[in-house]
Amino acid sequence: MSDVGSEEFDDARSKLGEYAGGRNEAGERHGAGRAALPNGDVYHGGYAGGSRHGQGTYRFKNGARYVGDYHQNKKQGQGAFYYPDGSKYEGSWVEDLRRGHGVYTYPNGDTYDGEWLHHVRHGPGTYHYSDTGVVYRGCWVNDQMESAGGYVYSNHRLAARGSTCSTLGVSSMVNTVRQSRGEQRRRWARWRPPQPSGGFPRASRGRRRGLQVRKSKAIHLRERRADL
């Protein structure tokens, strides 16, 4: 996923190449223009104060191509980068690096749709496997897929086991499994057997009578023992 190219050849060394387009009063490239660099790369788009600025298309000699926004000679804003191997990235750029939300399509058809930081996958995202149709939703840290996440299959879904996204300063996934189990344990700890609104039912008349008889016999037995 490296942006193989040679945009750094512009300005000083590009004076040896060809340029056709607008210029400002200082003679700097300004407005729409086309530059053919000595290494074979070609840029066609906006300029401001001698730097690539605004919308433009940069074609690399090796077949790569960038179409999108520039700011002071760097990819900045929204843009799409097409790589020689057939892969492509469409999304946000900050100072020539993939940063923010973007979609990367791999040569085999797999796609990653999610967050980027410093040119690598970092934060919440979704990875779609083109050959099986399986979808993984989870978190990435420094381009590595974390164990926290969930796979979605055609006939069932595996819930996430946890998330480290909260440590990245981005939105984290909800740990539904642990939360549901913890809530269930708390409910059981608070549970008390229900009681009838009028209290526990009184014993039946026959049972009360039997209790009274046994109680009377016990009292009579104690009295006889006291007399002895």
Local confidence band at 178 (pLDDT 50, 70, 90 cut-offs): very low
If asked whether residues 76 and 112 sit together in one domain, one would say no
pLDDT tens-digit readout, 179-215: 444 554 565 455 555 554 455 445 556 566 666 656 6
Query: Token pair of 203, please?
Result: 């014993």
Residue with tokens 């060809």: 18
Residue 130 belongs to a domain: yes
Specify the pairing of strand 74-82 against strand 88-94: antiparallel
Residue 134 belongs to a domain: yes
Residue 31 CA to residue 77 CA, distance in Å, equals 19
Q: Quick check: 177 pLDDT over 80?
A: no
If asked whether residues 137 and 73 sit together in one domain, one would say no
Instruction: Indicate the residue type of 90.
Output: E
Residue 34 CA to residue 58 CA, distance in Å, equals 10
pLDDT tens-digit readout, 68-98: 999 999 999 999 999 999 999 999 999 999 9
If asked whether residues 119 and 64 sit together in one domain, one would say no
Bridge-partner residues for 211, per DSSP?
Answer: none
Q: Quick check: 102 pLDDT over 80?
A: yes
Residue 46 belongs to a domain: yes
Residue 210 CA to residue 190 CA, distance in Å, equals 38
Range of the domain at 151: 108-183
CATH number for the domain including 49?
Answer: 2.20.110.10
Q: Judge whether 160 and 176 are in contact, CB under 8 Å.
A: yes
DSSP 8-state assignment for residue 211 = H
Residue 10 belongs to a domain: yes
Residue 166 belongs to a domain: yes
| Mean pLDDT of the chain, nearest integer | 78
Residue 227 belongs to a domain: no
pLDDT tens-digit readout, 136-169: 999 999 999 886 678 888 665 555 455 456 434 4
**Which helix H or strand E contains 102, and what residues bound it?**
strand 97-105
Q: What is the pLDDT of residue 175?
A: 40
Query: Token pair of 74, please?
Result: 């760097």
At residue 110, the 3 state secondary structure works out as coil
Count of domains forming the chain: 2
If asked whether residues 62 and 118 sit together in one domain, one would say no
DSSP 8-state assignment for residue 157 = B
Local confidence band at 4 (pLDDT 50, 70, 90 cut-offs): low
If asked whether residues 112 and 67 sit together in one domain, one would say no
Count of other CB atoms within 10 angstroms of residue 39: 14
Residue 188 belongs to a domain: no
Report pTM. Answer: 0.66
Higher per-residue confidence, 228 vs 153: 153
Q: Quick check: 132 pLDDT over 50?
A: yes
Q: Quick check: 41 pLDDT over 50?
A: yes
Q: What is the pLDDT of residue 49?
A: 94
At residue 49, the 3 state secondary structure works out as coil
Instruction: Indicate the residue type of 49.
Output: G
Q: What is the pLDDT of residue 214?
A: 67
Mean pLDDT of 118-133: 96
Q: Work out the percent of the chain whose per-residue pLDDT is above 90.
A: 56
If asked whether residues 113 and 151 sit together in one domain, one would say yes
Residue 179 belongs to a domain: yes
Q: What is the pLDDT of residue 140?
A: 95
Residue 212 CA to residue 189 CA, distance in Å, equals 39
Bridge-partner residues for 117, per DSSP?
Answer: 120
Q: Work out the percent of the chain whose per-residue pLDDT is above 70.
A: 59
If asked whether residues 119 and 176 sit together in one domain, one would say yes
Q: What is the pLDDT of residue 152?
A: 86
Residue with tokens 């590595």: 144
Residue 56 CA to residue 108 CA, distance in Å, equals 28
